[in-house]
């Protein structure tokens, strides 16, 4: 296998947390892959791991002092030279500094001078990761095309467990390989030349001219996927059920109301789609007929006869299977309130999708109507990625990572 990281310059920024020791392992993996690794430590990182360890592994000097070697402008030089940069681990403080463009040490000045793709791998206690300030910073970074990798849900310092654990060095290595293979632009461009169709929001099935059967979907997850796909270079069609949300930049929006209209819009775009992400909450049933005039209270409680709508995702899966094709890559969502993952697996199989994003909508802090989500991503080959509570922009990128993996496989 060609090693995408061979002879590539990787800027490895390490900020100060217990997990900084894992950066040593990542440095070793990168070195083993043939990358030229420039390590930059923050002052905090230096208190957790020593420069000497990295220097021993990499056989090259490690820098941390912005005032060293002023004439050679090392921060600009290192920023320019890098093919890819990663901050591993990224503390809450360093995430905040990067999000707001602060440049108060060698790492942050170097990254401001860098034009290569940037990956940040947050590591912190759950409360810090879930704080509104940190969430906002992660979202800001993701919206600028920065790849926010993790954190994982697992053991933390001091016996705690939860979201906030640094992703493993092997995961970071894999991501760096993918990012480097995706091209040199600041914004990741691994979907450039591809067309992504995203459905979003909750459909409305009319009962009469003023009433409808609807659901609580806000459309935020689907809009986040559309925005992320556009940032990554895709031509994006967003088939949107009624939503107040603003259309993301460069995305073509197709407004629909009912499940049937959504189906027609999706099938009209099918021919050009490389990936279809069905984030919409589609009504499973609709009134057989909508009353032409408003139902009057005085006429007593109406009996509304319902009929099933077509399952769009299942129809897409069946058509693709009948054609013996592997594209478009089909991504479904499962909104569940119990046995989420088991139900998700059943949906993945029954609808013949490639990827299913399982969403436990019974939690108050995630899922419907809120900015965050917590999902498990399953693929048809048994792959499983658990994404702890994070802004929907971050989740969107993780979903697209899996989809891009299948597209390029
Ligand atoms: N879906 C669809 N068309 C429908 C219903 C659902 O394309 N008529 C898609 C959704 O967009 C989502 C996936 O199927 O990607 C799962 O939706 P969900 O509501 O979780 O599942 P249902 O199939 O409706 O199953 P159930 O109501 O039993 O949970």
Dist CA 220 CA 396 (whole Å): 10
Query: Higher model confidence: residue 339 or residue 409?
Result: 339
Active site residue 359: no
Quick check: CB of 197 below 6 Å from ligand 1?
no
Q: 152 CA to middle of ligand 1, Å?
A: 28
Asked if the model's pLDDT at residue 61 lies above 60, the reply is: yes
Q: 335 CA to middle of ligand 1, Å?
A: 8
Q: 281 CA to middle of ligand 1, Å?
A: 7
Same domain flag for 174 and 237: no
Quick check: CB of 312 below 6 Å from ligand 1?
yes
Given 127, 156, 181, which residue is the final one in a domain?
181
Given 119, 146, 181, which residue is the final one in a domain?
181
Same domain flag for 259 and 347: yes
Rounded mean pLDDT, 167-173: 90
Q: Does 224 fall in a domain? A: yes
Same domain flag for 169 and 219: no
**Exposure string (b/e) for 273-298, b if CB count within 10 Å is 16 or more?**
bbbbbbbbbbbeebbeeebeeebeee
Catalytic pick among 137, 215, 359, 373: 215
Residues contacting residue 60 through CB under 8 Å, at least 6 positions apart: 36, 37, 38
Same domain flag for 282 and 338: yes
Q: What pLDDT is stored for residue 95 in this prediction? A: 97
pLDDT bucket at 76, cuts 50 / 70 / 90:
confident
CB 324 within 8 A of CB 348: no
Query: Higher model confidence: residue 4 or residue 208?
Result: 208
Same domain flag for 54 and 155: yes
Q: What pLDDT is stored for residue 182 in this prediction? A: 64
Same domain flag for 166 and 204: no
pLDDT bucket at 155, cuts 50 / 70 / 90:
confident
Q: Does 311 fall in a domain? A: yes
- Report pLDDT digits (tens) over 195-231: 999 999 999 999 999 999 999 999 999 999 999 998 8
Query: Phi and psi for 331 in degrees, rounded to 5?
Result: -115, 120
Q: 340 CA to middle of ligand 1, Å?
A: 13
CB atoms within 10 A of CB 51: 16
Dist CA 269 CA 67 (whole Å): 56
Please report, for the domain that includes residue 63, its CATH number. Answer: 3.40.50.1950
Per the structure, the count of domains in the chain is 2
Quick check: CB of 284 below 6 Å from ligand 1?
yes
Asked if the model's pLDDT at residue 317 lies above 90, the reply is: yes
Same domain flag for 157 and 253: no
Please report, for the domain that includes residue 347, its CATH number. Answer: 3.40.50.10300
Same domain flag for 230 and 117: no
Given 124, 147, 181, which residue is the final one in a domain?
181
Same domain flag for 219 and 365: yes
Residue of 311, 348, 354 to mutate, ligand 1, most atoms within 8 A of C-beta: 311
Residue of 278, 307, 342, 403 to mutate, ligand 1, most atoms within 8 A of C-beta: 278
Q: What pLDDT is stored for residue 70 in this prediction? A: 63
CB 250 within 8 A of CB 230: yes
Q: What pLDDT is stored for residue 74 in this prediction? A: 67
Same domain flag for 130 and 175: yes
Q: Does 188 fall in a domain? A: no
Dist CA 409 CA 274 (whole Å): 13
Same domain flag for 252 and 385: yes
- Report pLDDT digits (tens) over 350-367: 999 999 999 888 877 766
Quick check: CB of 280 below 6 Å from ligand 1?
yes
Q: 366 CA to middle of ligand 1, Å?
A: 19
Q: Does 89 fall in a domain? A: yes
Please state the atom number of ligand 1 nearest to the C-alpha of residue 313: 7
Q: Does 189 fall in a domain? A: no
Query: Higher model confidence: residue 84 or residue 391?
Result: 84
pLDDT bucket at 153, cuts 50 / 70 / 90:
confident
The residue nearest atom 9 of ligand 1, judged by CA position, is 313
Range of the domain at 167: 9-181
- pTM, two decimals, is 0.67
Q: What pLDDT is stored for residue 30 in this prediction? A: 98
């Amino acid at each position: 296998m060609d090693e995408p990281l061979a002879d590539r310059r990787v800027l490895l920024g390490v900020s100060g947390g217990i997990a900084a020791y894992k950066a040593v392992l990542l440095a070793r993996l990168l070195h083993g892959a043939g990358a030229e690794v420039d390590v930059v430590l923050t002052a905090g990182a230096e208190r957790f791991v020593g420069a000497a360890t990295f220097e021993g592994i990499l056989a090259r000097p490690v820098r941390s002092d912005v005032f060293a070697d002023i004439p050679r402008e090392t921060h600009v030089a290192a920023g320019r030279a890098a093919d890819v940069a990663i901050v591993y681990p990224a503390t809450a403080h360093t995430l905040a500094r990067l999000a707001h463009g602060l440049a108060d040490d060698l790492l942050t000045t170097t990254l401001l001078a860098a034009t290569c793709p940037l990956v940040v791998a947050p590591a912190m206690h759950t409360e810090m990761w879930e704080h509104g300030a940190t969430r906002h910073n992660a979202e800001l970074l993701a919206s600028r095309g920065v790849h926010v990798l993790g954190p994982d849900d697992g053991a933390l310092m001091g016996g705690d467990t939860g979201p906030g654990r640094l992703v493993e060095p092997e995961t970071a290595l894999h991501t760096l390989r993918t990012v480097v293979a995706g091209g040199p632009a600041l914004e990741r461009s691994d979907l450039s030349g591809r067309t992504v169709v995203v459905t979003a929001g909750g459909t409305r099935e009319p009962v009469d001219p003023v009433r409808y059967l609807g659901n609580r979907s806000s459309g935020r997850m689907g809009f986040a996927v559309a925005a992320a796909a556009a940032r990554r270079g895709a031509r994006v069609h967003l088939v949107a059920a009624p939503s107040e949300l603003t259309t993301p930049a460069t995305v073509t929006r197709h407004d629909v109301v009912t499940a049937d209209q959504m189906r027609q819009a999706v099938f009209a775009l099918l021919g050009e789609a490389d990936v279809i992400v069905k984030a919409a909450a589609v009504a499973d049933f609709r009134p057989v007929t909508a009353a032409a005039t408003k139902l009057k209270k005085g006429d007593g409680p109406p009996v509304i006869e319902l009929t099933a709508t077509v399952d769009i995702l299942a129809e897409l899966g069946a058509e693709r299977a009948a054609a013996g094709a592997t594209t478009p890559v089909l991504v479904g969502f499962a909104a569940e309130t119990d046995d989420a993952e088991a139900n998700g697996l059943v949906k993945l199989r029954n609808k013949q999708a490639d990827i299913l994003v399982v969403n436990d909508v019974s939690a108050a802090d995630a899922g419907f109507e809120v900015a965050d989500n917590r999902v498990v991503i399953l693929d048809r080959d048994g792959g499983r990625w658990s994404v702890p509570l994070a802004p929907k922009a971050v989740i969107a990128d993780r979903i697209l990572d899996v989809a891009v993996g299948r597209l390029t496989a």
